[in-house]
Amino acid sequence: MSAETKNIYLPKLHRIQDIIPETSDIKTFRLNLEGTPFVYYPGQFAELFVPGVGEAPISITSSPTQKGILEFSIKKTGLVTAAIHRLNQGDRLGVRGPYGNTFLVSNLKHQNLLFIGGGIGLAPLRSLINYVLDDEKRSDFQQVIILYGARSPEDLIFKWEFKKWENLEKVSLLVTVDRGNPQWTGQVGLVPNVLKESVNVNPPEWTCIICGPPIMIKFTIKALLDMGFQSHNIITTLEMRMKCGLGKCGRCNIGPHYVCKDGPVFTYEQLQNMPEEY
């Protein structure tokens, strides 16, 4: 065994094939795996590494059905994410992982799926959305509704993918913003309100997967419960502070759970049995 395979903290460098500007402070980085195996499932994350700066945990936004590439959508918030934003096409970015649990696609088979994303929270959901909508997997799942909200039209990510999703059979995409602008002709309203007003489903027949800012998750879960969703049919993914990503440093624990290993994906039923630290 080489020294490289023994060191679990050692990232692998991958070439940036493309950079897609999403908003003023979010970019999607498409890395070329160049034949290096990287086996992952929707819901997992990786630690991204910039030499001399540090590491940050970032959700994998590509779907494993997209072969040979790995995508991350990254918001510039501090040191590491700003350093990643300074990289150019052709530069190399360090990746270690994948880490964390997954959305357990086998448990979602034959179900109707309601995705609810807020802001950059659509990034981890997109991995599962594109997995479910992949030609080879599509018949394993039923109807799909994607409800996506952001503060303003300028804050929406993956706009370039909306047409593809909208044009698919048995897929509905609802996009809303908190505040419109003169060009915006779409829906204006907070996600939980749009959910209650515009999503007409029979809750026992649906599973909902949510990711977004904590305040959005809180009020969206309340709306889902009011609509009749059961807590085991509501799935969310947490973005706690993390360091190692491997269950070793204790940075991300909630009670006895390490979010980096036992999560980041939890059902609302599981969260209800945890201390209120998330």
Ligand X SMILES: Cc1cc2nc3c(=O)[nH]c(=O)nc-3n(C[C@H](O)[C@H](O)[C@H](O)COP(=O)(O)OP(=O)(O)OC[C@H]3O[C@@H](n4cnc5c(N)ncnc54)[C@H](O)[C@@H]3O)c2cc1C
| Footprint on this chain of ligand FES (rule: CB under 6 A) | 242-245, 247-252, 258, 260
Does residue 75 belong to the site contacting ligand X (CB under 6 A)?
Answer: yes
**Binding-site partner at residue 59 among ligand X, ligand FES, none, CB < 5 to 8 Å by type:** ligand X
How far is residue 237 CA from its own chain's centroid? 8
Residues 100-129 that bind ligand X (CB under 6 A): 120, 123
Q: Which of 56, 95, 144, 157 binds ligand X (CB under 6 A)?
A: 56
Contact window for ligand X (CB under 6 A) among 150-158, 189-197, 224-232, 234-242: 234-242
Answer for the pair 191, 156: CB distance below 8 angstroms, yes or no: no
Q: Which of 35, 47, 38 is nearest to 94 (CA)?
A: 47
Does residue 241 belong to the site contacting ligand X (CB under 6 A)?
Answer: yes
Contact window for ligand X (CB under 6 A) among 6-14, 17-25, 215-223, 235-243: 235-243
- Which one, 42 or 245, has the nearer CB to ligand FES? 245
Does residue 244 belong to the site contacting ligand X (CB under 6 A)?
Answer: no
Strand order in the sheet with 171-177: 187-188, 171-177, 144-150, 112-118, 206-211, 234-237, 265-267
Q: Tokens for 224?
A: 């889902």
**Binding-site partner at residue 114 among ligand FES, ligand X, none, CB < 5 to 8 Å by type:** none
Phi, psi of 216 (to 5 degrees): -65, -45
Bridge-partner residues for 75, per DSSP?
Answer: 26
Does residue 10 belong to the site contacting ligand X (CB under 6 A)?
Answer: no
Residues 259-278 that bind ligand X (CB under 6 A): 264
**How many angstroms separate the CA atoms of 208 and 227, rounded?**
12
Tell me if the bond preceding 204 is cis, omega within 30° of 0: no
Answer for the pair 157, 73: CB distance below 8 angstroms, yes or no: yes
Q: Which of 131, 211, 146, 150 is nearest to 22 (CA)?
A: 150
**Binding-site partner at residue 250 among ligand FES, ligand X, none, CB < 5 to 8 Å by type:** ligand FES
Whole-number minimum distance, CB 72 to ligand X, in Å?
6
Whole-number minimum distance, CB 266 to ligand X, in Å?
12
Sequence-separated (6 or more) residues with CB below 8 Å from residue 19: 27, 28, 29, 30, 87, 88, 89
Does residue 73 belong to the site contacting ligand X (CB under 6 A)?
Answer: yes
Q: Which of 68, 55, 56, 53 is nearest to 18 (CA)?
A: 68
Contact window for ligand X (CB under 6 A) among 3-11, 54-62, 138-146, 195-203: 54-62
Does residue 79 belong to the site contacting ligand X (CB under 6 A)?
Answer: yes
- Which one, 196 or 251, has the nearer CB to ligand X? 251
User: Site map for ligand X, 14-53, x if CB under 6 A?
Assistant: -------------------------------x--------
**How many angstroms separate the CA atoms of 35 and 51, rounded?**
23
**Binding-site partner at residue 81 among ligand X, ligand FES, none, CB < 5 to 8 Å by type:** ligand X
Binding residues for ligand X, rule: CB under 6 A, are: 45, 56-59, 73-75, 77-81, 120, 123, 239-242, 264
